Structure 1
């Protein structure tokens, strides 16, 4: 999982208490990406889901938060997770992929949490349908997305968060629909200078589609390195998405502030 996703994972961990909790094994009641599955042992949330295509072929990564909700220490084993795909295959978590923050085997005390990512190799043409935590009975659908945690905001309405004001000024798509551009405004409303490190450039936003897939920016306008008090800067983020993808949410966060969730559908009404 990239640095962008690691940051996103931590942000979602801080506010995931707004999730619904599902315990029923019924297929229709199973939560999707960004929701929470829980029993009297564990609470598991899938925070992001990415496709990858490199020298290892095509594979997916899932970012997870796992919480121990019982009164004794438990052991979290990444090899206990598997993905059931659309072709009926069962795909076990693999350690061969270059994940920035892999989920590792660890003992977790009562009330403790662990954040990390898993990689899965799927057969050609297969799509992920369900994540299964073996031995717990917990299942999470991967073919649908619930609203990410937090209050959603409409594009075009500036949102104050900490010492920043964030707003989306425009959303456009290429003729073939595979490139999405989001123009945004970032204002320093605090008393001090806002410093933007090189790792902040272009990494403010993660685009999420209606199927739960997450996309980092493929291009961006570079800002900074310093934003004086009261100064507003305009920038843009572009995303390359596959055919059939329907962008729905943008998780956007300024440096050192909490995430702001924009519902892109509200901007089209």
Structure 2
């Protein structure tokens, strides 16, 4: 049934889904906002054990976004679950509390960008470092890139996010950062770049991997361990982690995303000197490098 729904959605089920959404908007208590569930709105409670197939969200309350959310849908279970239990589940979830919305896309020259400066996406990484007893201070951003439909078409090869990442890396190298080579990375981590890539993907919850399927993740790591007051005596360092995702191959306007996390380690994470301001300014400058380049394309 799930396979038939996805394969024949346009021919057989699109009108039914639209009718369902319109009826759901009129439910008592609803704020009139109902939508299909997508990967980013799949209930987080299921992501470790299940993968989104289809479903619907209805928001409740007198505000937009609503003060509560009801999700009804179907999901395939992870291999670890399906080996001993069901291959798929039907779920109904009630979530109480303000709804978190993705940042809106804003026009930027010939582009529509979604810019996220919250540290949420890097929070698990920072927590892991702190559990190892390493003080860390973070400033981060993510730029999701779409071409405006009315703008002239651009080729997606070479991948734009990789070009932007190289520009940021060049700016950081001007600041005294050194990029880790494949050999250095393997020496310090015990893993090749490919193995690091696979390890990063495995850390993503099973139910969130749908979003990344068919999209290549690339990353760069640059470090600066001298030239700052907080680095004296080897007491601290500043690192920059650049992540890029190529655009979705079947979506012509989607050009992928660039994420950057600038981190102060050890003494460079302290509020006792200007290192935190340095980290914040460096993240802001890196973001501006990307925005300036896009403005000219």
Q: What TM-score results when the alignment is normalised by the length of structure 2?
A: 0.27
Task: Say which one has the larger Rg.
Answer: 2
The structure with the greater share of residues assigned to helix is 2
Q: Normalization by structure 1: what TM-score?
A: 0.29
More strand by share: 1
